[in-house]
Structure 1
């Protein structure tokens, strides 16, 4: 990721829009992402991570 976080991309969970920089309140933003394309798939990434963590947690409980 770029060092200048204000110019990276964010997914706005409230509006579904991809934004560059800090355009919306922090509680509505997911990111940062290096590219617009990555930010546009933020919800997919969250689902993947959630599934991965659930699998890891289930494996630890065995």
Structure 2
């Protein structure tokens, strides 16, 4: 039972550290853009290339 004297305050302290870390992440804007990272992961890095224009051949009249 003496171990509870150490474990209960330790658990409360770790919970407080976790809460403070969560509040800090909210304040620093970590959750502002939830969809942006998901779309950047599947988006193409380079735009699609268009085929070069066909060269006009001079017609012989």
Using structure 1 for the length normalisation, give the TM-score: 0.36
Using structure 2 for the length normalisation, give the TM-score: 0.37
Q: 1 or 2 for the larger relative contact order (CA 8 Å, sep ≥6)?
A: 1
Of Structure 1 and Structure 2, the greater strand share is in 1
Max Rg structure? 2
